[in-house]
Chains A and B, each alone.
Chain A
Amino acid sequence: MLKLENIQIALGEKQIIHDVSLSLASGDIGCLLGPSGCGKTTLLRAIAGFIPLVAGTIRIKGETVSSSQQHIDVTQRKVGVVFQDFALFPHLTVGQNIVFGLHQQTTQQQQARLTELLDLTQLTEYADQYPHQLSGGQQQRVAIARALAPRPEILLLDEPFSALDPSLRESLALDIKTLLKYEGVTALLITHDQTEAFTIADKIAVMNDGHIEQYASAYDLYHEPQTYFVANFVGEGRFIQGRVVVAPNTHGVIQTALGEFAVHEEPALAEYEKQALLLVRPDDFVVEPTSPYQVTVIGRAFRGAHILYTFRHADSGQDVLCLLPSHHDYQVGTTVGIRLELEHVIYF
């Protein structure tokens, strides 16, 4: 549906996007996740047709819309965009905003599409109101309805929840997901917030410094990050020092201050006997008073059902994060016996 091949983009002299490839199947919701300044907005604007490419191609439904030689104008692209600040036309009503892109259709067709979209976005009673009379969530739905109205091949959403109240974001994100799935539209959203990405997207591309680090499902990003950046950026976690060594009946083990763990795949020869960093997620621990690994509580943050502890391993001086059910109530300074249970051994 959407296919990006080896894209390079420069703004002025500065190269923003280095060699990005990505594809999105019809009806899927994709997400570009990354810290600010990683180039995700630039990539989105290039797909929309606001920025030309230096190299590579962008194909929508098999048709090349952007390449170094070719650049189909924004107005001809059939790409819908939902802007960060929604960019609703303040002097037009909700209804007029939504039908704005249907100028080539007859009034009846416009009316039919409007009724359908108003119904879908639960905005029927607001059709004659002006944008400033609506709440943030309603304005967002108008923006989405307006972008969906001309039935674009692909819908792009630029940080769609950043203008909304944080406490509402997750539930709104679910509503939007239902809406997009109902319309069956292929969508790509960009965000810096992983919760939003996890809620709404089928597949997430983690971006860093102009390239894609990993393109995978939320589960895989969390449990099987392929790069140090992804491991660090997605989810909470700490790294502890280790060393990969040869061991009988396995591909090898990684030795750390908190135990030895068998690696899943045979490491390259060069990796043996080198320092490595093992990823430890807060949910990888079990409490075991008799464990040989004793740690001291140096911080705790109460989170209702759970408490997030910061433990320090006295022998090695390394800190780890550990999420335990609330009934494990340890005060700062107490010593706890723990054991690491790693389902996925991820090291770099």
Chain B
Amino acid sequence: MAITSVFTSLGRSFVTSMIAVLRDTWFVSALCLCALLGVPIIAILWSFTDISLPLWTHLIDTNLSLYIGNSLLLALGVGIGSGVLGVSLAWCVTQYEFWGRSWFQWALLLPLAMPAYIMAYTYTGLFDDLGWFDSRSLIGAIAFMSLVLYPYVFMLAKTAFSGQQQQYQEVAATLGITRSAYFLKIALPIARPAVLTGVALAMMEALADYGTVAFFGISTFTTGIFRTWFGMGEMQLASQLAGGLALFVLVVLGLEKHSRRNMRFYQTQDLPVNKDTSARARSTKSLSVQSSISHYALSAYCLSVLLLAFIVPVTQLCVWALSTLEHIDVTEYWTLLVNSFSLALFSSILIVLIALCLSYAQRFAKTKSVGYLTQFAALGYAIPGTVLAIGILQPFGWLDEQLNYVWYQWFGEYIGLVFSGTFVALFFAYCVRFLSVAMHNTQTGLERIKPNIDDAVLTLGRGRLSLMRRIHFPLLRKSLLAASILVFVDVLKELPATLILRPFNFNTLAVKAFEYAADERLIAAAMPSVTIVIIGIIPVIMLTRAMQQN
């Protein structure tokens, strides 16, 4: 009797521990993936274990204040510029009726397709041609970046403004509050978390920018890191500088998260409301109709921003591209296209698969901590490409060194670089940087499939495989496609990490455009630039569609 009960309890504990392990497979794989993705951050932190005082003293005496000052000014300037542009445009298109309003609602998102560095070459070339002034300055960089980054603020502020209940405005009106007072006292404070998120995104992009500041010769953190690594050959110091930049970005990110946490009660109106009520609210939403003069002023304002931020530079690029068309090197262009596309395609498939794995881990693992792991992995989007590249080169270089040492001991020859300076490093960088873009889509896609659906399939006697094939895959197809396209375009536009990590002599559209521009061959840069912008329009269209469906 006693023996059997011992056996039963042994058997039971074995079964329960087996179940625990099986459940933990998700946790374990998520842990491994996230640890791998955390390598660059750890490498950057590791570099602080060996601080060289003379080098730092020299740096503090010379350039450090420039790096910090310029980066801060750039981030602040872009934050203010994109904030003012984004909020004012969003307020116009949500509150007033004027010529072209519904068209501007989506057209004002188009500058998202322009990478800042392409914007900078185009205007510099244009101004050089016109001979008006030289835009190669910090002010120029702030202006161009604000023009391409305001759509982040615009998009979020627009959603926030149009989500605000009509009742607020009616209450305000009955209390005798004017529209401008309403904007300052009610609409803007309510929209503040959304606006701050947009501004923080823009500031992070500004801090991470390499192409524009390098082209303008402005000393910032990113150009400083390049100079320290490649010019001075001080890898440790470059890593430490990269750590400093990462810290700046994290501070911006932390401030944004903090402000949002305090503001959460404002977000209640974002909850799904009764369809009838929201439809009624929309139909009764009264847009104020302006007198003809201010009517045209609003149109003119929106149009001028759109002209400056998109139409003029794109037209200029097209003109240049067309002028180079006859003596363009077709094979070179074709190689660039194939290189960029295959790189982007392969990375997007890889990244979406990883994102899908992590999202499934979050769904099936019983351990709560998988959620924190995936959040940590998604932090990669905040790491500037330059920092990321440094954080990858160091450990991968070390790994190659060890590998070659061991290989030589065994086989008497070197196998060369396996990780650094190959596609492995490049794909790895893209994974860290763009995983969150893909995960956002796979996660929301999976969340839309309620757990009861899984249970229903099982009770109907169909196995787990058919659950994936017949139910999950068809339901996830759209999210997977959206995730792949977004990652594809992001990889295509990425500059600094690609520039540093690409295999020798491997060029992409973005790299070539930058190299031509750096050689002041602005017209030659037009063809690859136009290609990037045109492909960059795809996600903007997707975004517009998604917003319209909401």
Contacts and interface: CB of A to CB of B under 8 A. Distances in A.
Interface of A: 48-50, 52, 68-69, 74-81, 83-85, 87, 89-91, 100-101, 103-104, 146-147, 150
Contact of B462 (A81, A87, A100): A100
Contacts of B455: 48, 50, 74, 81, 83, 87
Contacts of A85: 450, 452
Contact of B12 (A68, A103, A104, A146): A68
Interface in B1-52: 8, 11-12, 15, 19
B460 interface: yes
Nearest to B466: A103
Contact of A80 (B11, B15, B459, B470): B459
A146 B453 contact: no
A87 B461 CA distance: 15
B461 A150 contact: yes
Contacts of B466: 103
Contacts of A79: 459
Nearest to A101: B460
A136 to B, nearest CB: 14
Interface in B294-313: none
21 contacts: A48-B459, A52-B19, A68-B8, A69-B8, A69-B11, A74-B455, A75-B463, A77-B459, A80-B460, A83-B455, A87-B450, A87-B453, A87-B455, A89-B456, A100-B460, A100-B462, A100-B470, A103-B462, A103-B466, A147-B460, A150-B460
B458 A74 contact: yes
Nearest to B449: A90
Interface in B430-465: 450, 452-453, 455-463
Contacts of A83: 452, 455-456
Contacts of B460: 80, 100-101, 146-147, 150
B474 interface: yes
A146 B452 CA distance: 14
Nearest to B11: A69
Contact of B461 (A75, A84, A90): A75
Given A74-B459, A103-B462, 20 more contacts: A48-B459, A49-B459, A68-B8, A69-B8, A74-B458, A75-B458, A75-B459, A77-B459, A80-B460, A83-B452, A85-B450, A87-B450, A87-B455, A87-B456, A89-B456, A89-B471, A100-B457, A100-B470, A146-B456, A147-B460
Contacts of B19: 52
Contacts of A147: 459-460
Q: Is the interface of A mostly helix, strand, loop or mixed?
A: loop
Interface residues of B, number: 22
A13 to B, nearest CB: 11
B456 A81 contact: yes
B357 to A, nearest CB: 23
Nearest to A100: B460
B459 to A, nearest CB: 4
A69 B455 CA distance: 23
| Chain B, interface SS category | helix
Nearest to A45: B455
Nearest to A76: B461
A153 to B, nearest CB: 12
Most A CB contacts (10 A, CB to CB) among B450, B455, B474 go to B455
A79 B8 CA distance: 28
Nearest to A12: B366
Contacts of A74: 455, 458-459
Nearest to A73: B458
A75 B475 contact: no
A74 B455 CA distance: 9
A51 to B, nearest CB: 11
Nearest to B12: A68
Please give me the 5 A-B residue pairs with the lowest Cβ-Cβ distance, nearest first: A101-B460, A87-B452, A87-B456, A74-B458, A81-B459
Contacts of B462: 75, 100-101, 103
Given A48-B459, A147-B459, A150-B461, A91 B452 contact: no
Nearest to A80: B459
B540 to A, nearest CB: 28
Nearest to A158: B452
A85 B456 CA distance: 11
A75 B475 CA distance: 22
Q: Which one of B12, B15, B459, B470 has the greatest number of beta carbons of chain A within 10 Å?
A: B459
Contact of A84 (B8, B15, B452): B452
A135 to B, nearest CB: 14
A78 B461 CA distance: 7
Nearest to B366: A12
B439 to A, nearest CB: 22
B168 to A, nearest CB: 31
B452 A101 contact: no
A91 B475 contact: yes
A5 B470 CA distance: 37
A143 B18 CA distance: 34
A83 B458 CA distance: 12
A87 B459 CA distance: 12
Contacts of B474: 91
A79 B453 CA distance: 15
A84 B455 CA distance: 12
A77 B459 CA distance: 8
